[in-house]
């Protein structure tokens, strides 16, 4: 994605604010040079706006080569539990009385406590640039959660909300003891801090909770993909499936950023060549879309690491040694290596499983009949699944299209009227927009902001379920093609 080298043009205040953040960062030794551009970072990067690809992000100001050092953020500029504790005896003493909190809970409390200091915190200029809200799963309300439509995604959202609530309740006494201002004691503030930590922290070796890295956290995400050369010319079906195993190692191959002890700094490197104006991206890790939504609050339309799960019978899980998480469908609609192995074994008569099990485990088709049976089973399962879900791919596409057009309507009420006529189900009694408007005591602006946040999350839920269904539909086509080709052989 190529950027225009400017901040979001609608936001001059944002541009001014960014300049002051970079000035502040320079004082902390984060390499910043105003000579390249008014929004320059060092000699090769600038803060820019990339609509549809993360919004605010980092652009290349000159051609950048793979492996080049992009940015160096000294340890003294990193926000960690240690760095906050070492500056504040009250905080340090209060925490000693609560040793059972997890490292992330502790970091969350420390972050809120530091924010509570307002302008007297040395991090204040950085805090001003953090997003106002997040769309991570823990921020989902019941309506957005139900809009996910697929059981395991709904459970993931409910679990994320329950976990955040539990952790907040547990930490409440400590936060009260620390005398946080009432707005910072709320569950809303906790979700905000959770979102900040979940979507912006980087790994450090000395604290599981990670660190906040001013300026270093402006890089948007690109999914790690395998080296395009590694599987070139490999047409063998079995080797194709070996790609699944490769995924497991992705997380160990991330080389674009890390804390370096010898220079006591967080260093970022280019993982590929970039042209001028291109967005410089980092791989935060290997995530499915549901995981991206859970931790970062966004999705990728084209996610090479996407995994779609379909419900399987209990004996399918139990009869093979493959972990549940390995039984999935790839973004391109192909069943995973482990899913095929497990189903081939399951479709084999009991008395033959022992003698030909080795074939199944090595990823080889067992027989033409077995292969056709398995493919038909998956195809039928996927077909039934799509029929059970309340809305179709086409309906979801129209809904997303309509949501994209929302900004063209001067009056949100008009948009709701149009949308309700098309999507009765989504706008039933438990109307998502009614919920947004329905909070008593909100002034008009608060209500608008709340509505916008709700619609953003709702849109993400609809986009997620649309991608899910698209993959399931691709799987049906894949299975049908295989069945047809095997049947004519
Ligand atoms: C570390 S921050 C990156 C900088 C962020 N855009 C900002 O303005 O501060 C991570 C967040 O950026 C957004 N983001 C990153 N990569 C993205 C992408 N490829 N598509 C959409 N949003 C992305 C998500 O909101 C994510 O939680």
Q: Would you state the pLDDT for residue 90?
A: 96
Element (H, E) at 53: none
Name the DSSP class of 120: G
Structure-token pair, residue 133: 């809200």
Q: Would you state the pLDDT for residue 188?
A: 95
Residue 220, SS3 per DSSP: strand
Q: Would you state the pLDDT for residue 423?
A: 67
Please indicate whether residue 200, judged by its CB atom, sits closer than 6 Å to ligand 1.
yes
Please indicate whether residue 220, judged by its CB atom, sits closer than 6 Å to ligand 1.
yes
Element (H, E) at 279: strand 279-282
Q: Would you state the pLDDT for residue 34?
A: 45
Structure-token pair, residue 205: 């070796």
Please indicate whether residue 127, judged by its CB atom, sits closer than 6 Å to ligand 1.
no
Residue to mutate (ligand 1; options 59, 191, 221; most atoms within 8 A of CB): 221
Output the CA 283–ligand 1 centroid distance in Å. Answer: 11
CATH of 306-489, one of 1.10.520, 3.40.50, 1.10.357, 3.90.1420: 3.90.1420
Q: Would you state the pLDDT for residue 78?
A: 95
Q: Would you state the pLDDT for residue 421?
A: 72
What whole-number distance in Å separates Cα of residue 119 and Cα of residue 402? 42
Residue to mutate (ligand 1; options 8, 71, 192, 220; most atoms within 8 A of CB): 220
* Domain coordinates in residue numbering, the chain: 1-77+214-287, 79-212, 306-489
For residues 257 and 269, is the Cβ–Cβ distance under 8 A?
A: yes
Ligand 1 atom index nearest CA of 129: 9
CATH class of 1-77+214-287: mainly beta
ipTM summary value: 0.99
Residue whose entry in the numeric block shows the structure tokens 């005591």: 441
pLDDT tens string, the chain, 489 residues long: the values are 333 334 454 567 777 888 888 888 888 888 754 444 445 566 688 889 999 899 999 999 899 999 888 899 999 999 999 999 999 999 999 999 999 999 999 999 999 999 999 999 999 999 999 999 999 999 999 989 999 999 999 999 999 999 999 999 999 999 999 999 999 999 999 999 999 999 999 999 999 999 999 999 999 999 987 644 343 333 333 444 444 444 443 333 345 889 999 999 999 999 999 999 999 999 988 999 999 999 999 999 999 999 999 999 988 888 778 899 999 999 999 999 999 999 999 999 989 988 888 888 888 999 999 999 999 999 999 999 999 999 999 999 988 988 888 878 777 777 777 777 766 666 555 555 565 555 556 666 677 777 778 888 999 999 999 999 999 999 999 999 999 999 997
Helix ranges (H only) for 28-88 are 81-85
Give buried/exposed letters for 76-111 (b at 16+ CB in 10 A, else e). Answer: ebbbbbbbbbeebeebeebbeeeeebeebbbbbbbb
Q: Would you state the pLDDT for residue 446?
A: 72
Please indicate whether residue 56, judged by its CB atom, sits closer than 6 Å to ligand 1.
yes
What whole-number distance in Å separates Cα of residue 81 and Cα of residue 201? 12
Ligand 1 atom index nearest CA of 55: 6
Residue whose entry in the numeric block shows the structure tokens 């439509």: 149
Output the CA 200–ligand 1 centroid distance in Å. Answer: 9
What whole-number distance in Å separates Cα of residue 330 and Cα of residue 336? 6
Contacts 24+ apart (CB under 8 A), 9-13: 9/49
Give buried/exposed letters for 376-408 (b at 16+ CB in 10 A, else e). Answer: ebbbebbbebbeeeebebebbeebeebbeeeee
Residue whose entry in the numeric block shows the structure tokens 């551009």: 37
| Cα-Cα-Cα-Cα dihedral sign, residues 108, 110, 111, 112 | positive
Ligand 1 atom index nearest CA of 219: 3
Output the CA 296–ligand 1 centroid distance in Å. Answer: 7
Output the CA 63–ligand 1 centroid distance in Å. Answer: 23
Query: At a CB cut-off of 8 Å and minimum separation 6, what does 17 contact?
Result: 128, 129
Provide the CB-side half-sphere exposure for 159 (13 A, CA): 10
Please indicate whether residue 57, judged by its CB atom, sits closer than 6 Å to ligand 1.
yes
Neighbouring C-beta atoms of residue 137, cutoff 10 Å: 29
Please indicate whether residue 297, judged by its CB atom, sits closer than 6 Å to ligand 1.
yes
Neighbouring C-beta atoms of residue 308, cutoff 10 Å: 25
Output the CA 55–ligand 1 centroid distance in Å. Answer: 7
């Amino acid at each position: 994605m190529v950027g225009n080298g400017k901040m979001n043009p609608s936001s001059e205040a944002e541009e001014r604010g960014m300049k002051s953040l970079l000035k502040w960062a320079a004082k902390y030794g984060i390499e910043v040079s105003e000579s390249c551009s008014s929004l320059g970072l060092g000699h090769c990067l600038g803060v820019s706006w990339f609509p549809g690809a993360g919004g605010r992000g980092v652009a290349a100001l000159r051609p950048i080569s793979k492996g080049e050092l992009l940015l160096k953020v000294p340890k003294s500029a990193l926000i960690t539990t240690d760095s906050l504790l070492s500056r504040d005896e009250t905080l340090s003493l209060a925490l000693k009385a609560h040793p059972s909190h997890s490292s992330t809970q502790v970091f969350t409390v420390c972050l809120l406590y530091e924010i509570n200091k307002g302008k007297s915190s040395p991090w204040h200029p950085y805090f001003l640039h953090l997003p106002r809200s997040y769309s991570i799963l823990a921020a989902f309300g019941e309506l957005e959660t139900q809009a996910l439509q697929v059981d395991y995604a709904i459970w993931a959202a409910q679990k994320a909300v329950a976990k955040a609530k539990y952790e907040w309740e547990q930490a409440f006494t400590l936060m009260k003891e620390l005398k946080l201002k009432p707005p910072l004691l709320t569950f809303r503030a906790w979700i905000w801090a959770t979102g900040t930590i979940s979507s912006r922290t980087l790994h450090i070796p000395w604290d599981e909770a990670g660190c906040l890295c001013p300026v270093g956290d402006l890089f948007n995400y690109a999914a790690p993909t395998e080296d395009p050369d590694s599987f070139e010319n490999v047409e063998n079906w079995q080797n194709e499936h070996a790609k699944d195993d490769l995924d497991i190692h992705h997380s160990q191959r991330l080389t674009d950023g890390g804390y370096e002890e010898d220079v006591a700094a967080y260093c970022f490197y280019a993982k590929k060549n970039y042209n001028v104006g291109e967005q410089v991206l980092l791989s935060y890790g290997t995530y499915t879309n549901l995981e991206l939504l859970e931790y970062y609050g966004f999705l990728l339309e084209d996610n090479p690491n996407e995994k779609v799960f379909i419900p399987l019978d209990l004996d399918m899980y139990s009869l093979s040694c493959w972990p549940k998480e390995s039984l999935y469908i790839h973004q391109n609609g192909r069943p995973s290596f482990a899913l095929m192995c497990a189903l081939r074994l399951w479709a084999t008569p009991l008395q033959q499983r022992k003698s030909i099990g080795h074939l199944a485990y090595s990823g080889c088709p067992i027989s033409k009949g077995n292969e056709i049976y398995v493919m038909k089973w998956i195809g039928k399962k996927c077909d039934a699944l799509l029929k059970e879900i309340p809305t179709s791919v086409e309906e979801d596409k129209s809904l997303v299209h309509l949501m994209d057009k929302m900004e063209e309507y001067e009056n949100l009420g008009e948009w709701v009227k149009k949308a309700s006529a098309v999507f009765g189900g989504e706008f039933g009694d438990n109307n998502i927009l009614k919920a947004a408007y329905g909070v008593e005591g909100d002034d008009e602006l608060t209500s608008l902001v709340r509505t916008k946040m709700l619609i953003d999350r709702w849109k993400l839920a609809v986009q997620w379920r649309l991608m899910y269904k698209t993959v399931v539909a691709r799987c049906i086509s894949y299975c049908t093609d295989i069945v047809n080709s095997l049947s004519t052989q």
